[in-house]
Amino acid sequence: MERQVVEYEVADRIATIRLNRPERLNSWTGRMSSEYRTALLAAADDPQVRVIVVTGAGRGFCSGADSDALAGHAERGGYDSGLGEGAPRPGYGVRAEFDADMAYHFGVDKPIIAAINGPAAGIGFALACYCDLRFAARGAKLTTAHGRLGLPAEFGLSWLLPKLIGLTHAAELLFSSRIFLAEEAAEMGLVNRLLEPGDLMGAVYDYAAQLATTVSPASLRVTKRQLYRDLVAGNPADSIEDATVTMDEMMAGPDYREGVVALREKRAPRFGLS
């Protein structure tokens, strides 16, 4: 598919997916969904990519569903994702719990960082929540939005948001659909880092580069799998047993050998593209 509303680039082992409808604050459409999934699948499958950054062009991250698309749903009297048959399925096939819209982010075995450069509403807010980490610009506006449209909490946010920020905060945001700022999101623990707008992307790429160059890619893959498996179906005993078995397997791998050599030689590890 020719990319019209999503930009994709890879540099220094970091893939950037940029929603690109700046004149509409990157409002979401069926085409954007398909192009986004295509880009995410490309990043997931590229052995050169170790970290994925998701952001928006211009002043916004993603202002939610496009108003014309919302009007179309009202005219049809039902929801249509606009994806059609054969839509790209990044992250599918890892666990049944992840084989759903937005939840597929959990099945992508590389860290995904949301760089929230501006408004994130509705599906844009959900997209940020399903990324693994969130860096945000001061003053960025966020909202679940659904209550103002007479809709339910969307994309599993009623399941995910309490796990990110606790039931009390999640209930208040979901009930009210109010607009809140990145500063408040940081106080709740929803945002990992809060930055001045001009410093946001530099900080995101510095952190992504740290992951891409100093952390074993095999370790990143396994750790993300552990996090989300335990989130949906874990208990302490199973988690410990899985870690013990996986540790034994990984100790036979090249990343572990390089990590030990680097430690003994008192230098930074040079992990291959494993």
pLDDT of 15 > 70? The answer is: yes
- Residue 32, classified by CB atoms within 10 Å of its CB into exposed (0-12), middle (13-18) or buried (19+), is buried
Whole-angstrom distance, CA of residue 31 vs CA of residue 34: 5
**Averaged confidence pLDDT in the chain:** 94
Determine the average pLDDT of the residues in 173-190. 98
- For residue 239, give the nearest of 253, 222, 254 by alpha carbon: 222
Tell me the one-letter amino acid at 158.
Answer: S
Please tell me the distance from the alpha carbon of residue 189 to that of residue 64, in angstroms, as a whole number. Answer: 22
> pLDDT band at residue 98, thresholds of 50, 70 and 90?
very high
Residue range 204-222: mean pLDDT, rounded: 97
Per-residue pLDDT, 166: 98
pLDDT of residue 147: 96
Across-strand partners of 114? 54, 134
pLDDT > 80? residue 71: no
Q: What is the 3-state secondary structure (H, E, C) of 208-221?
A: HHHHHHHCCHHHHH
Is residue 100 pLDDT above 60, yes or no?
Answer: yes
Ordered by start, the domain boundaries in the chain are 6-211, 216-265
What does the pLDDT read at residue 70? Answer: 63
196 or 83: which carries more pLDDT confidence?
196
Overall average pLDDT of the 82-103 stretch? 91
21-30, 64-73, 153-162, 206-215, range with the lowest pLDDT:
64-73
Q: Which helix (H) or strand (E) holds 18?
A: strand 14-19
Reported as a single tens digit per residue, the pLDDT across 111-138 is: 999 999 999 999 999 999 999 999 999 9
The predicted structure's pLDDT at residue 140: 98
Q: Which residues contact 12 (CB under 8 A, 6 or more apart)?
A: 209, 212
In whole angstroms, what is the distance from residue 182 CA to residue 260 CA?
A: 40
Q: How confident is the model at residue 274 (pLDDT cuts 50, 70, 90)?
A: very low
User: Does the structure show a pLDDT above 80 at 81?
Assistant: no
Residue 87's pLDDT band (boundaries 50, 70, 90)?
A: confident
Which residues touch 107 (CB under 8 Å, ≥6 apart)? 90, 91, 92, 93, 94, 95, 98, 99, 228
Indicate the SS3 state at residue 181.
strand
29-57: pLDDT as tens digits: 999 999 999 999 999 999 999 999 999 99
Q: Looking at this protein, which amino acid is placed at residue 149? A: L
Cα–Cα distance measured from residue 154 to residue 54, given in angstroms and rounded to the nearest whole number: 20
Can you give the pLDDT at residue 72?
A: 59
List helix spans (H) across the chain: 30-45, 67-76, 123-130, 157-165, 167-176, 182-188, 200-214, 217-233, 236-250, 254-265
pLDDT > 90 fraction of the chain, expressed in percent and rounded: 89
Q: Give the three-class secondary structure for 11.
A: strand
Domain spanning 6-211: CATH 3.90.226.10: yes
Q: What is the DSSP string of 77-92?
A: TS---S--TT---TTT
| For residue 16, pLDDT beyond 50 | yes
Token duo for residue 121: 């509403």
